[in-house]
């Protein structure tokens, strides 16, 4: 529906609320037709950035350009940006069709044209048969569809989604994520999603901008964020990992190892990319750890440690095995399959934990 998708450029956007620096000079470039997520913990500035783009708040400094046009001084009602709000913000006194028609009426289109566009927008979200219902008569998922139809009916140059799935239950949320993503790529509309849910961001987006304390930590595709986090914050925020803080020490043969704070007698292997000295944080994703029963030694091409099996925890699609290594605890995960479960070492049995050097991440601590 969107005639020509537009790229979005944020340049050094800053915003301060009282003593809080909500945005500290954020720069972000989104390509035409791209689906970009702003992901971060609450208070990281993602919603502030979205509201600056929509024109609902004015940034203190910086520029936002949409399709090459500077948005500074352009009122929200002149921006042609569709927004789906967190609780949908449907107009309670209008039925579904009137809600969707609102933006078109504001553009003073002819009634026949409005009718056709409303029907098309409702068909896109499969809500044609609900045109005469009022928002209070719809389920959460249906309200969300209407909010989406209302936002895309105006054929916006940019679509903003502000935590649109937060109010839905888990099953429905998963289905809506795929549906919205499918609709977005079909329409080719540039989209910015604000969310604190990393699964949602990963499921829906081409790229994700990780935000923290008013700054962007990393902008990358989901796989890259997970496998090659740019810094400690991103590595910690995305996914789960074993995290060991300690000092780099040199062994007798000159090779480097990590001496963990939790147990100074231990030496853990570190990748060759690690700094040659100082305090570091070693991170290994649990699914990168191979669990070998018995003190069998580390397979060739891998690094690892000997440990003692402790508790196992079943969390649906995977099993986590916690292992004790002196004062240190490490865990690895396996897919939940019967034969894998049967092969797991018993509590108290020796176990070898091995991982590829390239799967270990080291950050200055």
Partner 1 sequence: MNRWLKAYIALAAVFLLLPMALVVVVSLSSAQFVIFPPPGFSLKWFARVLQDTSFMRPLWNSIQLGLLSTIMAAMLAVPAAIVLVRRRPPGAEAIQTFLLSPLALPSLVLAIALLFFLSSIGLGNTYIGLLIGHVVIVLPYLLRTVLAVYSASDPRIEEAAYTLGANPWRAFWRVTLPAIRPGLFAGGMFAFLISFDEVAVALMLSNASNMTLPVSILGYLVNNYDPAVAAISVIKMAIVVVVLIAVEKFYGLGSLTLPQRGGTASHG
Least Cα distance to 53 among 15, 87, 102 occurs for 15
Give the shortest CB-151-to-partner 1 separation in angstroms. Answer: 8
Beta bridge partners, 13, equal: 26
Which is closer to partner 1, CB of 157 or CB of 238?
A: 157
Name which position in 103, 269, 304, 332 contacts partner 1 (CB under 8 A): 103
Q: Please, are residues 100 and 118 in contact by the beta-carbon 8 Å criterion?
A: yes
Name which position in 10, 28, 88, 229 contacts partner 1 (CB under 8 A): 88
189 binds partner 1 (CB under 8 A): no
336 binds partner 1 (CB under 8 A): no
Give the shortest CB-110-to-partner 1 separation in angstroms. Answer: 16
Name which position in 91, 113, 313, 357 contacts partner 1 (CB under 8 A): 91
Site string for partner 1, 144-163 (x = CB under 8 A): ------xx--x---------
67 binds partner 1 (CB under 8 A): no
Four-point Cα dihedral 23, 27, 32, 34, nearest 10: -70
Name which position in 12, 69, 116, 137 contacts partner 1 (CB under 8 A): 137
Which is closer to partner 1, CB of 54 or CB of 303?
A: 54
DSSP for 232-282, written as a single string: HHHHHHSS--EEEEEEEEE-TTS-EEEEETT-TT--EE--TTS-SSSEEEE
186 binds partner 1 (CB under 8 A): no
Distance CA 239, CA 241 (A): 7
3-state SS, residue 229: coil
Four-point Cα dihedral 105, 108, 111, 113, nearest 10: -100
Give the footprint of partner 1 on this chain (CB under 8 A): 54-56, 75-83, 85-94, 102-103, 106-107, 133-137, 150-151, 154
């Amino acid at each position: 529906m969107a005639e020509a998708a537009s790229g979005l450029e944020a340049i050094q956007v800053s915003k301060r609320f009282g003593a809080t620096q909500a945005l500290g000079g954020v720069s972000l470039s989104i390509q035409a037709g791209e689906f970009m997520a702003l992901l971060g913990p609450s208070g990281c500035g993602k919603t502030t950035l979205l509201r600056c783009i929509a024109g609902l708040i004015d940034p203190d400094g910086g520029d936002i350009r949409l399709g090459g046009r500077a948005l500074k001084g352009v009122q929200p009602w002149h921006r042609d940006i569709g927004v789906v709000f967190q609780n949908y913000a449907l107009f309670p006194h209008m039925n579904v069709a009137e809600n969707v028609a609102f933006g078109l009426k504001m553009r003073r289109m002819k009634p026949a044209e409005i009718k056709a566009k409303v029907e098309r927008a409702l068909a896109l979200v499969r809500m044609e048969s609900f045109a005469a219902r009022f928002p209070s008569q719809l389920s959460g998922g249906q309200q969300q569809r209407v909010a989406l139809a209302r936002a895309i009916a105006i054929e916006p140059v940019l679509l903003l989604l502000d935590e649109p799935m937060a109010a839905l239950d888990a099953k429905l949320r998963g289905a809506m994520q795929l549906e919205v993503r499918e609709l977005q790529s079909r329409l080719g509309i540039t989209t910015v999603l604000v969310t604190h849910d990393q699964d949602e961001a990963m499921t829906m987006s081409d790229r994700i901008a990780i935000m923290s304390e008013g700054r962007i930590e990393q902008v990358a595709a989901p796989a890259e964020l997970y496998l090659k986090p740019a810094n400690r914050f991103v590595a910690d925020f995305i996914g789960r990992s074993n995290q060991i803080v300690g000092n780099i020490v040199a062994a007798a043969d000159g090779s480097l190892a990590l001496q963990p704070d939790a147990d100074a007698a231990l030496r853990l292997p570190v990748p060759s990319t690690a700094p040659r000295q100082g305090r570091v944080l070693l991170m290994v994703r649990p699914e990168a750890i191979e669990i070998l029963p018995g003190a069998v030694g580390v397979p060739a091409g891998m690094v690892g440690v000997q440990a003692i099996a402790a508790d196992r925890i079943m969390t649906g699609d995977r099993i986590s095995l916690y292992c004790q290594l002196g004062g240190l605890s490490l865990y690895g995960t396996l897919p939940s399959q019967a034969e894998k479960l049967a092969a797991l070492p018993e509590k108290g049995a020796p176990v070898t934990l091995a991982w590829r050097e390239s799967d270990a991440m080291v950050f200055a601590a």
